[in-house]
Amino acid sequence: MRHGKAEAFGREDHQRRLTEKGRRESTAAGKWLAAQGIVPNEAYVSSATRTRQTWEALVAGSGTPAEARVEDAVYSADADSALDVLRGAPADAEVVLYVGHNPTAASLAHLLDDGDPDPESFRAMSAGFPTAAIAVLEISVPWAELDVATGHLAAFHVDQGAG
């Protein structure tokens, strides 16, 4: 997941906060996840203010009891580094959520896809990875073995009504 819409400027990039739209779209993303029955039980969240606020809004929308692992490594991660973070997920984690930044969020989703994605989801994701977008990938290996093409893009969600 990419964080929700954030303010354009802040004293430091790390401290930029969500806008009201960002809160709405992040809450809506949580509601969508709950409606799909894919509520996270493990989460890795960038240490940036906007990603932590995205997680809080997503929790409010989804009702997940998961505690986020807030990590500086997610803030600065490229797709390969994000893979390393996700490989540390507990073996029994069923739904793992990554809340980070672009271009990493989009790159990670494309990197994980096995090349046989849900066509509609792939078209939507290829058109862009806007704020609060969620790529749902079904992973075919244990988390410790997560690698390129070990997932199947099953769904892609962008809330159109949060504007």
pLDDT digits over 99-124, tens only?
Answer: 999 999 999 999 999 999 999 999 99
Contact 131, 2 (CB under 8 A): yes
Predicted pLDDT at 161: 63
Task: Using the predicted structure, report yes or no on whether residue 93 has a pLDDT greater than 90.
Answer: yes
Tell me the fold of 13-157. Answer: Rossmann fold (3.40.50)
Question: Rg for the chain (alpha carbons), in Å?
Answer: 14
**Pairing, β 134-139 against β 151-157:** antiparallel
Predicted pLDDT at 90: 97
Mean pLDDT of 5-18: 92
CA atoms of 34 and 146, how far apart (whole Å) = 25
Predicted pLDDT at 81: 96
Contact 74, 47 (CB under 8 A): yes
Contact 34, 90 (CB under 8 A): no
DSSP 31: H
Render pLDDT for 128-154 as a digit per residue (tens, 0 to 9).
999 999 999 999 999 999 999 999 999
Residue with tokens 């009702």: 63
Predicted pLDDT at 160: 73
Token pair in block for residue 97: 């959520």
Token pair in block for residue 61: 């929308």
What mean pLDDT, rounded, does the chain reach? 95
The model's pTM is 0.95
Predicted pLDDT at 126: 95
